[in-house]
Amino acid sequence: MEALGARHQDKALPEFGIERAAQLAGCTANHIRNLESRGDLPQPRTVEAGSIQRRIYNYNDVNHIRAVIGKQQCRPVGAGTVRVVFSNLKGGVAKTTMSLHFAQYAAREGFRTLLVDADPQATTTGAFGFIPDLDLGDGDDLYLALVDSPELIEKAIRSTHWDTLDLIPARLVLQYVDWRLSQPQELDNSTLGPPPVRLHRALNVIADRYDLIVVDTPPSLGM
């Protein structure tokens, strides 16, 4: 529970031994030891386990190992970024849970992943230790990218404790997006385009940086 409630700067990935790291990386434990002894990989962290020093790793370490041994995951050359949206008109049906776990699974497997929190409740944002009222301000969510300029989405991207997983957080201000986009002057905005395409256009600005974009939506048809 303490780990779940940690602030974003204190979040840490789970740690495990060399056998599990080798299994995830797709090689043998001896191969990892050899790479470390040759200097191709940094020396691992260690913890005392009785009379021995036990090597420990996390998912970021595993992705580094994959890169060194040529098994790093990425989308095929010429393929577009995959976008996955978890949407349902009913609340409490595990949209956030599925979005969060799917994005973390993709990041664990080594795919460059962006998780977009489009829900004003900001539950996904909180899972990464961000408190919207304390840690975020104007421009730190999707709002300005939808009503001002799609390029402003870049300012909203936040790094997380996963090397391969970035987050666009949410704030309560997102609850005003649907009202704003329903105004007559927004319906035929020649610069930003019609409301239904604005999120798509904003994501296009940064899509090439990622293999996968996952969107956690509110229980509505807006945005």
Give one DSSP letter per residue of 83-128, joined into a string: EEEE--SSSSSSHHHHHHHHHHHHHHTT--EEEEE--TT-HHHHHT
Across 34-56, average pLDDT: 92
Query: The dihedral of CA 70, 73, 76, 80: what is its sign?
Result: negative
Listed by start position, the domains of the chain span 9-69, 82-216
Residue type, 150: P
How many Cβ atoms sit within 10 Å of the Cβ of residue 80?
10
pTM of the full structure: 0.90
pLDDT at 204 over 70: yes
Residue 127 near residue 100 (C-beta atoms within 8 A): yes
- CATH no., domain 9-69: 1.10.1660.10
- At 133-191, the pLDDT tens digits run 889 999 999 999 999 999 999 999 999 999 999 999 999 999 999 888 888 888 888 88
Helix, coil or strand: residue 176: helix
- Mean pLDDT, range 196-208, rounded to an integer: 94
| CATH code reported for the domain at 82-216 | 3.40.50.300
Q: Is 61:21 a contact under the CB 8 Å cutoff? A: yes
Confidence of residue 3 (pLDDT cuts 50, 70, 90): low
